[in-house]
A and B are shown apart, each in its own frame.
Chain A
Amino acid sequence: MKKNLSSKKAHKAQLILFLCLLFLVCFFVIPARAQSSDVLQAFEQVAALIRDDRLVEADKELTEVLRLQPDLPVALNLMGSLRAKQGRLVEAESLFLRAVQGDKNFTGARMNLVYLYLLKHAPDKAIPQLTEVLTLEPENLDAKVLLGDAYLAKNDLQKAEENYLAALDNKLNNAGALFGLAQISRMKGEQREVAIYLNRVGTLIGDSTSTDFLYKFALEAMQVGLFDEAKSALERAVALKPKDPSYLLALGIAWLRKTDLFEAEKLFRRVLVMEPNNAQAQLHLGYVLLNQKKYAEARTWLEKSARTSAPIPEVFYYLGLVAQEQNNDAGAIVLFEKAVRQLPLYAHARIALGSSYMKLKNYVRARQELETAVKLDPNEPTAHYNLALLYARIKEPERAKEELRIIDQLKAKGATNNGVVVLPPKSNP
């Protein structure tokens, strides 16, 4: 199916999220466990070095400590954090485990392990650690939410829900727990509940400083059409990290889904100033320009996007639409065919293909493609419109009327047919 263009980006974002959380754990746990003010000060300094990305210096300091006290849990935990930040996750896991073995009550190290396991999609390993943390700290709300996340990752919706509800404790003020409940509702297909939970989350994250949570929330909110909420969260994320193109890109997509092409265009252009080769931004800018009927520039960006990364079917589809609008239907057909070859169930590409064949008066092929498109997506008004047009041209007025009647029915059911151009895939920017 649709290939995720930004899996590397997503992985990077997840890693950053993990490291931020990890760092918080290290930073706040160390003082409590330090035995003397000197040791405390030394570890605070090391923590600061890690925070400031001065990893070589931190490594040196910790290596020295561990040379003298190889099993010191606090040092092992910090070293694990450092290795994690370096992307050396196997070593990190080993260090956290050693820290926990050295001090069974070291909840900070256990939480680090949990973050690591959740990142590695190993909820089964995270759950025992969280159970242990909650035994030691029954009121640890973060642990309850994470336990919910772990069960959610296992698809055990009931246990996930129990833990999120436990974290809420009848108070609707834990954004993480509410966010988890929203995800459960989405998986159950309870759209109204999703919107309710996310709306509530939206009211809680106004002063959030976690850009990653804001981002995750925004993506989820966009899924259920809460574009204003998504936009607000992303605007806050952008304000917190104005130089991070990921948030700008996501904000552009939120504007796009609010159908404000002008704001979206501005944001995609900003991303491309920061990252000229950002394929997602190129694709989205191309899409925006295509919808603004600025075909020449749309084509430039879409072609760039195709060169930057392996083109997804949408790129061929959009380029085909540009060719179609520029009266090059033969060229458009080649591009639509490519899109369909990549994704045979791509109804919109088939509609466009049918439309181009119709313009070239190849009504047999046009009919084939359009009828296939209607089978693939019977609720798409564009397919029915093109079929109506075709039937009208081949002098089958009754069938044309029937297609127009279907369009009216679809409209009555709330189908929108604002344009033939479908949005780029719901990718993770």
Chain B
Amino acid sequence: MAWSSYPLNPIHNQSVFIRATNCLWLLTLLLAFPPQKPTFEEVSPAESKITWTHNNAQSPDRQLPETVGAGCAFLDYDNDGWMDIYLVNSGPSDFFTPSTPLKNALYRNNHDGTFTDVTDKAGVAGGKFGMGVAAADYDGDGNIDLYVTNYGSNILYRNNGNGTFTDVTDKAGVTAPGWSTCATWFDYDNDAKLDLFVSSFVYYDKSQNPLCTDPTLKQRYYCVPRLFKPQPSRLFHNNGDGTFQDVSRESGIAGSPGKSFGAVATDVNNDGLMDLFVANDTMPNFLFLNKGDGKFEEIGLAAGVAYGEAGRPRSGMGVDAADFDGDGWQDLFVANIDQEFFSLYHNDKELIFTDQPGEIAPATQLLSGWGLKFFDYDNDGDPDLFLVNGHPDDMIESRVARVRHKEPLLLFENTGRNFKDVSASSGPVFTKMFSGRGMALGDFDNDGDADVLTSNNGEPPLLLRNQGGNRNNWIGLQLIATKSNPAAVGATITWQAGTLKRTRLKTGGGSYLSSHDPREILGVGSATKIDYVEIRWPSGKIDKLTNPPLNTYVKVVEGTGLVKK
């Protein structure tokens, strides 16, 4: 029967009209007041009391280490449940003698949005030409220790558990002389102890600084790293007695000399062994596949993550890994220098990746990326992406059109299969320019959404408060390992809330020269109940939390499950 044979009942018709009007109202409301997305707000030094500034030691000689640093970290050094901050500074070296002493800084979180400088009391001032930092409880005593990488030699600060640290570098055997950049704690042999990967940059000393200049500028500029020799990175095996063994050679890591910056420990083939993805500057990137016998095989070329198009090595700096499209396989990200585009490597399984940067590519064509991290800024359950940028050459604007020395931050929201640039709607800070380098992730105000700390070359750090990420519901996990490595790197967390089901691998490292809040915030969107959270520990143990509490942090102890809020 044709629709037209049913004349509309006037009353029915009216109700249709009213319903339609209501719908229009709703639509109007939705258009006028779209769901608010989180923004990032700058926390000023006056508010945070973080007054420390990075000194990049910039000199007329334009020594390369001046432009590379430095990193930052969120860590809870005093186990009070609040994220403290560590910032790395330059210091004395063969090419630099500071006119006044320079220090790294440890800021204790006062739980009220302010921080107190406790560097001297804690004894973690550094005193070398600092690069990066990696925080983790390497000795499993329940206290977060600090490994600081430098141009020169590195420092391992053991946390004494009383607000102070002791330099145990020599005893531990992790000096790593030369020029170290990023450090990553992870357990490569699944022996429940945190091993240490240390990226090495080029062979360098002040006598090896070639003259890179432009006659029209009559000034030196920073030389491209292509001019310097690569050096092998280092892998230290944790002996479990406070010492480490340098296994760089026997593990195969030393067989691939590089000019390495960012590194992330992840499992690219889901075999339960943590692999390493390492960005190289002007050289092919490395993907060290963990073979499970203490050896790594470098498979970057075959995997398709080593080179750019046409086989040209790029200037890789920051890296991270996450399963951004929820297919169960870890994807990789690497930030490069301007004109090279950043790469989002989709894991096609079978150890093959395809570069699919989507909207990220045109947005980053003129940028140089360093700190970066996949994280769920809006707690909708999927990993988004935050990028920190800045050109290493402070004179680039004199030589290259449209490329700037200071560059904006970028935020990309996960759209399921790719990312959308939401920087413009994520706060005024995204319109500002920075000489960005490190980036650390952490919920410093414990409000259930991840905040951001960036360290800028020759500038103060930038603390960004996530405003509104917690409008969606969440649960925060502090994983306490008993049989696995203390950082639970390699743990797989699966959670379900109604139709939303997600899985996350706890990676090690990531970003650039920086270290992150070890807790995991699991977003569930607007769901008002979490059905379960399952943690598959690196040891193989599985803990399942059924109907865990919402919008709070919980401690989960390996083998015991949830122990307390």
Contacts and interface: CB of A to CB of B under 8 A. Distances in A.
A293 B302 contact: no
Contacts of B310: 381-382, 385, 417-420
A407 interface: yes
Nearest to B312: A417
B356 A400 contact: no
A59 B384 CA distance: 73
B361 A382 contact: no
Contacts of B354: 327, 359
B307 A293 contact: no
Nearest to A384: B311
A361 B194 CA distance: 38
Contacts of A292: 361-362, 365
Contacts of B401: 260
A389 B362 contact: no
A392 B299 CA distance: 8
B357 A293 contact: yes
Interface in A360-395: 381-382, 384-386, 388-389, 392-393
Contact of B311 (A294, A393, A417): A417
Contact of A393 (B302, B309, B356, B362): B302
A336 to B, nearest CB: 16
A294 B354 CA distance: 17
B352 interface: yes
A262 B310 CA distance: 22
A417 B307 CA distance: 11
B301 interface: yes
B304 interface: yes
Contact of B304 (A327, A382, A389, A419): A389
Contact of A293 (B304, B311, B352, B362): B362
B341 interface: yes
Nearest to B284: A404
A384 B401 CA distance: 32
Interface in B325-372: 341, 352, 354, 356-357, 361-362, 365
A389 B301 contact: yes
Contact of B362 (A294, A385, A388, A407): A294
A307 B302 CA distance: 39
Contacts of A385: 307, 310-311
A420 B309 contact: yes
Interface string B298-317: 01011010010111100000
Interface residues of A, number: 24
The winner among B304, B309, B365, B402 for most chain A CB atoms within 10 A is: B309
Interface string A248-281: 0000000000001010000000000000000000
A263 B301 CA distance: 34
A392 B309 CA distance: 16
Interface string A81-108: 0000000000000000000000000000
Contact of B301 (A293, A294, A400): A400
Contacts of B312: 381, 417-418
Contact of B309 (A262, A327, A359, A382): A382
A294 B304 CA distance: 22
The SS class assigned to the B binding surface is: loop
Nearest to A406: B311
Contacts of A260: 401
A293 B402 contact: no
Given A359-B354, A381-B311, A385-B311, A392 B302 contact: yes
Nearest to A351: B310
A293 B361 contact: yes
Contacts, number: 50
Interface in A302-331: 325, 327
Contacts of A392: 299, 301-302
A352 B82 CA distance: 53
A292 B310 CA distance: 16
A325 to B, nearest CB: 8
B252 to A, nearest CB: 14
A325 B355 CA distance: 8
Contacts of B299: 392
A400 B301 CA distance: 9
The winner among B302, B310, B356 for most chain A CB atoms within 10 A is: B310
A382 B310 CA distance: 4
B230 to A, nearest CB: 14
Contacts of A388: 301, 311
Nearest to B352: A393
A374 to B, nearest CB: 13
Contacts of A386: 311
Contacts of A384: 311
A325 B302 CA distance: 19
A389 B312 CA distance: 12
Contacts of B357: 293
Interface in B468-519: none
Nearest to B309: A420
A292 B301 CA distance: 24
A385 B310 CA distance: 6
A293 B365 contact: yes
Nearest to A326: B356
Contacts of A293: 341, 357, 361-362, 365
Contacts of B341: 293
A293 B307 CA distance: 17
A402 B523 CA distance: 48
Contacts of A404: 301, 311
Given A389-B304, A393-B352, A419 B311 contact: no
Nearest to B304: A389
A260 B70 CA distance: 32
A327 B357 CA distance: 12
A389 B307 CA distance: 10
A256 B61 CA distance: 35
Interface string A404-425: 1001000000000111100000
A386 B311 CA distance: 8
Nearest to A387: B311
Contacts of B352: 393
Contacts of A419: 309-310
Interface string B376-404: 00000000000000000000000001100
Given A327-B354, A385-B311, A404-B311, A262 B402 contact: yes
Nearest to B308: A419
A91 to B, nearest CB: 52
B284 to A, nearest CB: 9
A256 to B, nearest CB: 14
A296 to B, nearest CB: 10
The winner among A262, A393, A407 for most chain B CB atoms within 10 A is: A393
A292 B311 CA distance: 18
Contacts of B307: 385
A418 B356 CA distance: 18
A373 to B, nearest CB: 12
A106 to B, nearest CB: 54
B356 A382 contact: no
Contact of B302 (A359, A389, A417): A389
A407 B341 CA distance: 21
A202 B555 CA distance: 75
A418 B314 CA distance: 10
Nearest to B356: A327
B45 to A, nearest CB: 37
A292 to B, nearest CB: 5
Given A325-B356, A382-B309, 12 more contacts: A292-B362, A293-B357, A293-B361, A293-B362, A294-B362, A382-B310, A385-B307, A385-B310, A404-B311, A417-B310, A419-B309, A420-B310
Closest 3 CB pairs of A and B: A385-B311, A392-B302, A293-B361
5 contacts: A388-B301, A388-B311, A404-B301, A407-B311, A419-B310
